[in-house]
Amino acid sequence: MLIWILIICLSQVAVQSQYYSKSLPYHPKPVKVTNLHFFFHETLSSKNPTTVEIAQVNIPSNHNNSSVPFATLYALDDPLKIGPEHDSEVIGNAQGLTVLAGTNTTDAVMYVDFGFTSGKFKGSSISIFSRNPIREIEREVAVIGGRGQFKMATGFALLKAYFINDTNVIIEYNVTVIHY
């Protein structure tokens, strides 16, 4: 009995003696490609905004009242819908941060997780971390990872501004995801 306890204790000590595994050759698994098509609905100012400003630097060059002032940070939780209509079915949400990062351009950089809440990819999400020239009608952003069924994702998304006014923005997303 004592010997068994000793063996168990020793084996646990061995398990906890290092924090990394042996590095082995990597054998890539076959990957799949999936196309996603949806609309990103953003509400900027209303009783229930889905994108809100959380910080802005106070420097003289921002006092031109630009609608996209440099060094402004937004938090967002925007619904993703099947179509561009307001009452279209919600299939997920985009949560994260966007920072206006151009001193002389209208570039944003987005750090956003696009999670799906219905259909085959319910519970899975893709991570977009990319420069996003928001004033251009068509643009491309990078997919750099994913969760759930989108593990090890890479890819890109083609974005097209579908509707923009002062309070509402609707962007069409056409995403090509390569994943496990």
The residues of the shown chain that bind ligand NAG, judged by CB under 6 A, are 35, 37, 61, 63-66, 104, 158, 165-168, 174, 176
Compute the least distance from the CB of residue 51 to ligand NAG, in Å: 14
Token reading at 37? 């098509």
Compute the least distance from the CB of residue 102 to ligand NAG, in Å: 9
> Which of 25/60 has CB closer to ligand NAG?
60
Compute the least distance from the CB of residue 19 to ligand NAG, in Å: 41
Compute the least distance from the CB of residue 7 to ligand NAG, in Å: 58
**E-assigned strands of the chain?**
32-43, 51-56, 72-81, 90-100, 107-116, 125-133, 138-147, 154-164, 168-179
Report how far apart, in Å, the C-alpha atoms of 91 and of each of 94, 127, 177 are: 10, 16, 17
Which residues partner with 157 through β-bridges? 141, 175
> Which of 1/42 has CB closer to ligand NAG?
42
Which residues partner with 125 through β-bridges? 115, 147
> Helix, strand or coil for residue 62?
helix
> Which of 35/48 has CB closer to ligand NAG?
35
Token reading at 20? 């990394």
Q: Are strands 107-116 and 168-179 parallel, antiparallel or unpaired?
A: unpaired
- In whole angstroms, give the CA distance from residue 41 to residue 86: 8
- In whole angstroms, give the CA distance from residue 100 to residue 132: 9
Compute the least distance from the CB of residue 109 to ligand NAG, in Å: 17
> Which of 23/67 has CB closer to ligand NAG?
67
> Which of 95/168 has CB closer to ligand NAG?
168
